[in-house]
Amino acid sequence: MPQVVELVWFHMKPDESEKKIGQVLECIRGKLLSTLGLEALYYGIGTTIPQGFVGMNIVKIWSSADAQRAYFESPNDYEYEIAKEIIDASDPSRQPNSVSFIPESCDHLFRALASDVTLLSCIWLPAAADKTAFQAHRMEVLGDDVDLENFGTSAVSAWSVPDSMHPLIGETDGFLTFYASANVKDAEAIASKDKQILSRLEMFSQVYDQQYACFSKMM
């Protein structure tokens, strides 16, 4: 079965100490290490574009959709409970969220996660959208400004995880985009241009918050 990529986002309290964040991450890592079907775990302190919210990204690579679903069907509130101390949940828009994808390939994603700066985003498309034509146009417009060796995008099946962090929105189609960059300005420029393309085409339903972060592998 294909690998599953899960993105978890926690908005962090302003000026939270690095020491406290490190303690929380180590505790989450310890709890997840023995989870069946979890193949890799990454974390990064990220910033959303264009809102500028600072938060913690956790990227989980699962061996299969069945393995991930089994995890979420078991008691697993500890992940949110552990992170509560550093989460800013003062506004409904800042609640923790989790979204999962079955990508065509993880190769570009792994390369992006190993880079200095990683840009992650997901584009939801209406069911009737011509995904091939959409992607061809998007890559043509982005081509001049994007190092395609460092740019990966996959047509994906996606779903929100039906756990306590985020309500189920159902399965849908879209693109998971990941971009490896040497600096934040490049990532911001790509994100800005991407959103301009999408709004002009008027054929997308939602852009999952674009985030840039420097990631470290936890397992």
Task: Tell me the pLDDT tens digit for each residue of 153-174.
Answer: 766 655 554 443 333 344 566 6
Which pTM value belongs to this model?
A: 0.79
**Averaged pLDDT for residues 4-26:** 82
Q: Which of 114, 120, 108, 87 is nearest to 187 (CA)?
A: 120
H helix intervals, 33-106: 65-73, 78-83
Alpha-carbon 49 to chain mean position: 13
Could you read off the pLDDT of 85-142 as tens digits, one per residue? 888 877 766 677 777 777 777 787 888 888 888 888 777 666 677 777 777 877 777 7
Q: How far apart are CA 57 and CA 50, in angstroms?
A: 16
How many CB atoms are located within 10 Å of the residue 45 CB? 17
Residue 106: partners with Cβ closer than 8 Å, 6 or more residues away: 3, 5, 61
**Domains of the chain, start order:** 4-217 (3.30.70.100)
